[in-house]
Amino acid sequence: MTSQAQGATGAQTTDIHAADIQLAQARISAVIAPTPLQYCPRLSEETGAEVYLKREDLQDVRSYKIRGAYNNISQLTAEERGAGIVAASAGNHAQGVAYACRTLEITGRIYVPNQTPKQKRDRIMVHGGDWVEVIVTGDSFDEASAAAHAYSLETGATMVEPFDARNTIIGQGTVAAEILAQLTAMGKQADTIVVPVGGGGLIAGVASYLHDMAPHTAIVGVEPASAASMQAALDNDGPITLEAIDPFVDGAAVKRIGDANYQVIDANRSRVHMMSVSEGAVCTEMLGLYQNEGIVAEPAGALSVTGLTQLQTRPGEVVVCIISGGNNDVLRYNEIVERSLVHRGLKHYFLVNFPQEPGQLRMFLEEILGPNDDITLFEYLKRNNRETGTALVGLQLGSATDLEPLLERMANSRISCQQLQPGSPEYEFLT
């Protein structure tokens, strides 16, 4: 069996030890430098714990994915390299593969879904140059993966899995090896490591290393609420394909957890605790990292810090949050701010049916809006009849507690106001 085939089978996959990961460290160290482990005063003060951030966003490809990709590709046989490489990715694994292709001079074909931000697509070509070709296909990672596997079967190209392969898992486990070594140098030990979870490669690697080297360290996996495929697998006693996911947290928007990754986590159930967080909460923490620590995290990169807000930490507990990636397109920040405002209860939308009489807008401003409420959207839709006309109004409140008084004023007004609820078809259309 090749290393790729071994990575997709059962017992051989779960038999990963610290020694395997240490060998991978030596293998990749010539091209991949350790990333900083930084103390975070703000999050430490907020939680009472001693919080450190593992800055994988500072990798050359701005993501930990280069570890697994390079460890995997560097061990391919001459025959496997000669057949060329094919991979599927939401964007970060693709950059690691592209980097390895150019460094090792191997041709590669990389499939990414339509949801992959243009920034990530552009970076793939920067890292791969003339050695890689990027194919954009499908509406999710899973569809892009199916296309990549079909190409591999058709041409004999070597498939390099983004998470569901033994050598990929081993490469990602080097993150945990660095964390423990860096804490030891400070005279500290990790009580909890918080890990973002998409396909499961990183958490499987972390769990494998800690099983041997730090068996008392707790592992917390954090998934986006609308793509919680690891929790679904654990509940089902095996991987299960989710019917639909929200692609916003693109680096972790995976419908089905990897078989190999599930096996590792299943074997470590007693030490791994899963949680899910909303996309709006992720946006809030992305903005917090940017505004306070100057960290440009992508949505998946902020999952661990988002999960930290739900943890019941002990005073002085040493907690490490892995910032897994920083490939975020600046064009997405309007949506990020919008989702954060909605999550914090500050942004709301209404259909306002104005009587067609003079002074009605002034009445709305003076009698309904509070002193700290701002109109962020006002779009006159249509006149329903001779007496009324409807406008779509977006309001940003000064405080989430201002909503109930606002709704009371609306209820007592002769101007009819209907609040649009998140999740409704009307709300999804306008946002």
Beta pairing, strands 37-39 & 50-55: antiparallel
By annotation, the residues acting in catalysis are 65, 324
Q: Which residues contact 422 (CB under 8 A, 6 or more apart)?
A: 342
| Distance, CA of 369 to CA of 270 (rounded, Å) | 52
Q: What is the DSSP string of 232-253?
A: HHHHHTS----S---TTSGGG-
| Distance, CA of 205 to CA of 164 (rounded, Å) | 11
| Distance, CA of 3 to CA of 331 (rounded, Å) | 39
**Opening angle at CA 332, ends 328 and 333, nearest 5:** 95
**Opening angle at CA 140, ends 135 and 194, nearest 5:** 115
Sheet holding 218-224, edge to edge: 37-39, 50-55, 318-323, 192-196, 218-224, 272-277
Asked if 117 and 329 count as a contact pair (C-beta separation under 8 A), the reply is yes
What length is written for the chain?
431
Torsions phi, psi for 109 (to 5 deg): -125, 120
- List the one residue out of 130, 72, 113, 79 whose CA is nearest residue 96: 72
Q: Which residues contact 217 (CB under 8 A, 6 or more apart)?
A: 189, 190, 191, 192, 193, 210, 271
CA 214 to chain centroid, in Å, comes to 26
Helix (H) or strand (E) holding 375: strand 374-383
**Opening angle at CA 101, ends 98 and 103, nearest 5:** 110
| Distance, CA of 191 to CA of 154 (rounded, Å) | 48
Amino acid sitting at position 261: N
Beta pairing, strands 108-112 & 85-88: parallel
CA distances to 148, 351, 379 from 389, rounded to whole Å, are 52, 10, 11
